[in-house]
Amino acid sequence: MKFVKCLVVIFILIFLVSCGEDGTMIGSGFVDSSMEVIATDTLTIKASSVLMDSVVTDDATNLLVGSYQDDYLGTVYAKGFVRFSVGSGVTISETAQYDSLSLRLKVNYHYGDAGARQQFSLYRVLEDIEPAGDNTQLYNFDDFETESASLASVTITPENKDSLEILLPQALGLPLFEAFQNEGKIVEDQEHFEDYLKGIAISNGNASNTSIFGFQADSTAYLSLRLHYTETTDGVVEQKYYDFNLYSHFSNIQGDRKAPLNKLESPKESIKSTESGNQVFIQNGVGIMTRLDFPTIDNLFDVGPNLIINGAELYLFPLAQSYEEETPLPDPLMVYVGDVRHRIIGSYTDDDGNTISASPTVDEEFNQQTYYKLDISEFVREELDTDRITGNGLLLTAPASQYQGNVNRTILGGPANAGYKMYVSLVVTKLN
């Protein structure tokens, strides 16, 4: 290991004042002796792309629908499922006239070709949209059977920012209208209502479209079924409606990954950066994360038995041209501690318990040296302090609010990437 050694008296004096707060001594025999401050950027990093076990999507802010072919990662497919609430205490007069039933949507997110026109179809769901087995939530791998014939279709573009209304067949809407008039069982309560309409799926049928859309799903104002009808009073016709508000939703999100990432078939597997063009990846929705291991941390003891870790900063460089307005970088980038099977143990925190994350420092002028900087000092200290091999590493991904509700991807240079090399800037004090 190549070390840059510096015996800077002023620095040591400052350090002696502050090490009680931020430094941790590794080893014993802390006696009055000379000290040597050593800085290095050659701590070995093992970087790989790994797969989450699953991604919860039933509390995401967006209902994702569509498909997108990524030059690096392959194709992502998304299909949305929605359940609606029947409400209560609603009556419609016997003289009212049925008009229509429509699905209301609002585009809240778009990923892919900014000029793309996409056609989506609506399907009636045939199964109860409920978690399987002992699960309490719905995940990106969950799927439910639908009718083969669509209820309706719509073509939209990213510019469709206003609410959309998609007309549904009278054969679906009229029985609901008549049930309100006649106190029918299908609108008596939620159970009877879902016996009639378990939900609606929105899909593009895995067609080779070029965008994924997110429909706003955190408000009943933008995702609902609307029953339109008219009532006539004293010769005056009044337009009225009743909303079946959002009850629950989730997105089925799948990836048809390109080689070599097509080998990621289970959370047990990983693809080394050296096997993927000296790059590692993060992709929301399908659950691809970057994992970092530091196999030579214990070699720091070769420097000497008594060390104080002054600081360790990890620098990560996204590839130029891999991010833009339509494919933004995660902000912030989250860091988790993961076990040997890539399962998240918990958030990575500093010695005060503060969660560690990082926002990108963007090179606005040349788009070449955008980077993330993460303080991993506490992780290095803990790994040196333990008397066993933990197998733990750091997992990098977007915040849950993003990886559950979009399919954005990030490409980082690996440790051997010539132009975008990740590295750790490490400073220790050796007690001679």
The neighbour count for residue 147, using CB atoms within 10 Å, is 11
For residues 293 and 156, the model is more confident at 293
- Top-ranked range on mean pLDDT: pick from 159-163, 291-295, 364-368: 291-295
The helix (run of H) or strand (run of E) holding residue 25 is strand 25-26
Q: Clarify whether residues 96 and 160 are in a common domain.
A: yes
**Residue tagged 């194709």 (tokens):** 75
The neighbour count for residue 266, using CB atoms within 10 Å, is 10
**Least confident span in 181-190, 218-227, 266-275:** 218-227
Q: Clarify whether residues 187 and 297 are in a common domain.
A: no
The token duo for 31 is 């006696």
Share of the chain above pLDDT 90, in %: 62
Q: Is the pLDDT of residue 214 over 60?
A: yes
Examine residue 262 and state whether it is found in any structural domain, yes or no: no
Averaged pLDDT, 154-171: 87
Q: Is the pLDDT of residue 420 over 80?
A: yes
Q: Look at residue 53 in the predicted model and tell me its pLDDT.
A: 87
Give the DSSP letter of residue 221. Answer: T
User: Please, which pLDDT band fits residue 103 given cuts at 50, 70 and 90?
Assistant: very high
Q: Clarify whether residues 163 and 309 are in a common domain.
A: no
Examine residue 126 and state whether it is found in any structural domain, yes or no: yes
Pick the last residue of a domain from 256, 276, 306: 256
Q: Clarify whether residues 82 and 42 are in a common domain.
A: no
**Average pLDDT of the chain, as a whole number:** 87
Examine residue 57 and state whether it is found in any structural domain, yes or no: no
Number of domains in the chain: 2
Examine residue 261 and state whether it is found in any structural domain, yes or no: no
Bridge-based pairing of strands 288-293 and 409-413 is unpaired
Examine residue 369 and state whether it is found in any structural domain, yes or no: yes
Q: Clarify whether residues 423 and 369 are in a common domain.
A: yes
Buried/exposed 361-380: b ≥16 CB within 10 Å, e otherwise: eeeeeeeeebbbebebbbbb
Q: Clarify whether residues 40 and 69 are in a common domain.
A: no
For residues 44 and 161, the model is more confident at 44
Closest Cα to residue 271, out of 404, 414, 384?
414
**Least confident span in 54-63, 178-187, 207-216, 264-273:** 207-216
Q: Clarify whether residues 274 and 416 are in a common domain.
A: yes
**How far is residue 94 CA from its own chain's centroid?**
49
Closest Cα to residue 246, out of 64, 401, 87?
87
**CB of 322 closer than 8 Å to CB of 412:** no
Give the model confidence (pLDDT) of 54-102 as tens digits. 999 998 999 999 999 888 999 999 999 999 999 988 889 999 999 999 9
The neighbour count for residue 419, using CB atoms within 10 Å, is 11
Q: Clarify whether residues 109 and 139 are in a common domain.
A: yes
Examine residue 403 and state whether it is found in any structural domain, yes or no: yes
Quote the domain boundaries for residue 155.
Answer: 62-256
User: Please, which pLDDT band fits residue 352 given cuts at 50, 70 and 90?
Assistant: confident
Averaged pLDDT, 296-317: 81
The token duo for 66 is 């569509």
Q: Look at residue 19 in the predicted model and tell me its pLDDT.
A: 43
Give the model confidence (pLDDT) of 107-125 as tens digits. 999 888 777 788 899 999 9
Pick the last residue of a domain from 256, 276, 298: 256
Examine residue 153 and state whether it is found in any structural domain, yes or no: yes
**Residue tagged 């790989």 (tokens):** 48
Q: Look at residue 364 in the predicted model and tell me its pLDDT.
A: 82
Between CA 215 and CA 219 the distance in angstroms is 10
Q: What angle do CA 86, 240, 156 make, to 5 degrees?
A: 75
Q: Is 268 helix (H, G, I), strand (E, B) or coil?
A: coil
What residues pair up with 321 in beta bridges, in sequence order? none
Share of the chain above pLDDT 70, in %: 89
Closest Cα to residue 231, out of 173, 169, 180, 163?
180
User: Please, which pLDDT band fits residue 4 given cuts at 50, 70 and 90?
Assistant: very low
Q: Clarify whether residues 105 and 31 are in a common domain.
A: no
**Least confident span in 77-91, 210-224, 229-243, 245-259:** 210-224
The token duo for 111 is 């990923």
**CB of 151 closer than 8 Å to CB of 203:** no
Buried/exposed 225-257: b ≥16 CB within 10 Å, e otherwise: bbbbbeeeeeeeeeeeebebebbbbbbbbbbeb
Q: Clarify whether residues 360 and 221 are in a common domain.
A: no
Q: Report CA Rg, the chain.
A: 28
Q: Look at residue 9 in the predicted model and tell me its pLDDT.
A: 34
Task: Tell me the torsion sign for CA atoms 180, 184, 186, 188.
Answer: positive
Give the model confidence (pLDDT) of 8-38 as tens digits. 333 433 333 344 344 444 443 344 457 788 8
Give the model confidence (pLDDT) of 329-350 as tens digits. 999 999 999 998 899 999 998 8
Pick the last residue of a domain from 223, 256, 289: 256
Q: Clarify whether residues 297 and 403 are in a common domain.
A: yes
Q: Clarify whether residues 219 and 366 are in a common domain.
A: no
Examine residue 161 and state whether it is found in any structural domain, yes or no: yes
Q: Is the pLDDT of residue 303 over 90?
A: no
For residues 385 and 57, the model is more confident at 57
The neighbour count for residue 38, using CB atoms within 10 Å, is 20
Q: Is the pLDDT of residue 266 over 90?
A: no
